Structure 1
Amino acid sequence: MTTTEPAAPTSTDLLAGCPVVPVVVLDRAEDAVPLGEALLAGGITGIEITLRTAAGLAAIGLAGRALPELTVGAGSVLTPAHVDRVVDQGARFVVCPGLFTPVVQRCGELSVPALPGVATASELMTAVNLGLDVVKFFPAGLLGGPAAIKALSAPFPGLQFLPSGGVSPANMADYLGLDCVPAVSGSWMVDPALIRAGDWAEITRRSRAAVDTAAAAVAAS
């Protein structure tokens, strides 16, 4: 008798249950677990831990092993070698600031969802031809916000966008009101100052408020 391996989750699957994805920069890898616990307590089930600091890679592994209910991804992934390293640490999705075909292809080879950053229609055409169904729109605020996504999405039916960069509690509902935006990405609930201070209660409070705002925006759209 043969068994069939379960299909790898897609980017769409990952974002469907996580409308707010925190972008985390850690100075200390050991902060990853209490941070993850604080986010889960606030209703956030996914996290992007970036490689912007030396602590990022180890933090991905620590959070993923300690908190299996938290979907831990890697951010600021720039090269195929980075993909190998973060997947070895247990990253369940990969986020990039831009679109680089070898990185997307390496993610495909390892069956890990890729969320590359895009800013133009030409990059969106490349993404579609690489078989992607979700892209990161970055930096969303500087590129024109919800209006820019609405305009760019028109020729690309079925493609979804994760806005990142300039997303805040004040404007996240405007993004989530678009049918092509299943989730937003931001850092206000994981302010580095709060992490350094170990203010997990405030992180949980901001997370809960973000989840509540997201739920209301989705219900109203």
Structure 2
Amino acid sequence: MDVKNTTGRWTALQVMQDAPVIPVIVLNDVAHAVPLARALVAGGIRMLEVTLRTPQALECIERIAKEVPEAVIGAGTIRSAADAQASVKAGALFGVSPGYTRNVGQACRDLGLPLLPGVATGSEVMMAQEDGFTELKFFPAMQAGGPAMLKAWSGPFFDVKFCPTGGVTLQNAPEFLALPNVVCVGGSWIVPTDAMKSGDWGRITQLCLDTVALKKKPA
């Protein structure tokens, strides 16, 4: 579905609503960036989180932003204001962080970069919410309590929407997506390393198609 607003900008909720999964992408080879993005888009996944876990990540973001306009490129593993600034300069349209600090939150607001902050405890949810963030990444999802934790949070944090990431697979994603406070999940299963290394882009597109077929709950 097309949830882009009329200004051409995206909100964190719109990023979450676009598909059942946001791929968590680790790129070690710049040459893989554009064909991977095209394979993901062909499979119905256009919100792409390229993590800042490799020295090549920012260049990969820049290439995708320039060469695959159908994709909405985001930067993951934002841990500092400098990360946020570099991501926006490279062309990122949204950001994802493994945790939350007010410095990172303020930097993203100043830059106009929609952010999905990472949380793993109730206190972190409250801190992010105090700063105006109501769409959050639950990370690491399985290690921090999985679907049971999100069910427990649905009471006190009834007005917060989550994207669980960390240990999520095609097999357990439906359990997360069935929860009313989960809009989408984050996962790396649709970007397997061996498929990227071998250039098997058709396999990645098929994994996307299988994932898009999962039912997701409206926010």
CA distance in 1, matches of 2:217, 2:106: 32
CA distance in 1, matches of 2:29, 2:10: 29
Q: Which has the higher helix share?
A: 1
User: How many residues end up aligned between the 2 structures?
Assistant: 213
CA drift at 1:143: 1.1
Q: Give the corresponding residue for 2:3.
A: none
> What SS does structure 2 have at the residue aligned with 1:188?
coil
Q: Give the corresponding residue for 1:98.
A: 99
Q: Give the corresponding residue for 1:31.
A: 32
Q: Give the corresponding residue for 1:15.
A: 16
CA distance in 2, matches of 1:49, 1:26: 7
Query: Which deviations, in whole Å up to 9, do the C-alpha atoms of 1:83-106 show, x marking residues without a partner?
Result: 000000110111111111101110
CA drift at 1:7: 7.8
Query: Which deviations, in whole Å up to 9, do the C-alpha atoms of 1:186-214 show, x marking residues without a partner?
Result: 0011011211111101111111101112x
> What SS does structure 2 have at the residue aligned with 1:18?
coil
When the two structures are superposed, what TM-score results if normalisation uses the length of structure 1? 0.92
CA distance in 1, matches of 2:77, 2:194: 20
AA of the residue aligned to 2:91: G
CA distance in 1, matches of 2:133, 2:178: 22
CA distance in 1, matches of 2:17, 2:190: 20
Q: Give the corresponding residue for 1:200.
A: 201
Deviation >6 Å, runs of 4+: none
AA of the residue aligned to 1:19: P
CA distance in 1, matches of 2:190, 2:155: 31
CA drift at 1:9: 2.3
Gaps of 5+ in 2: 1-5
Query: Which deviations, in whole Å up to 9, do the C-alpha atoms of 1:138-165 show, x marking residues without a partner?
Result: 0001112111111123211221000000
AA of the residue aligned to 1:40: V
CA distance in 2, matches of 1:195, 1:6: 34
> What SS does structure 1 have at the residue aligned with 2:137?
strand
Q: Give the corresponding residue for 2:177.
A: 176
Percent identity (aligned):
41
AA of the residue aligned to 1:209: D
CA RMSD of aligned residues (A): 1.5
Query: Which deviations, in whole Å up to 9, do the C-alpha atoms of 1:28-74 show, x marking residues without a partner?
Result: 11211100111111111111001111111100011111112211100
CA distance in 1, matches of 2:178, 2:131: 27
1:157-176 alignment runs, 5 A limit: 157-176=158-177
CA distance in 1, matches of 2:31, 2:8: 32
AA of the residue aligned to 2:27: L
Gaps of 5+ in 1: none
AA of the residue aligned to 2:44: G
Q: Give the corresponding residue for 2:60.
A: 59
AA of the residue aligned to 1:134: E
Q: Give the corresponding residue for 2:157.
A: 156
CA distance in 2, matches of 1:6, 1:37: 25
- Specify whether residues 79 and 210 from structure 1 end up closer, same or farther in structure 2 by C-alpha distance, changes over 3 A only: same
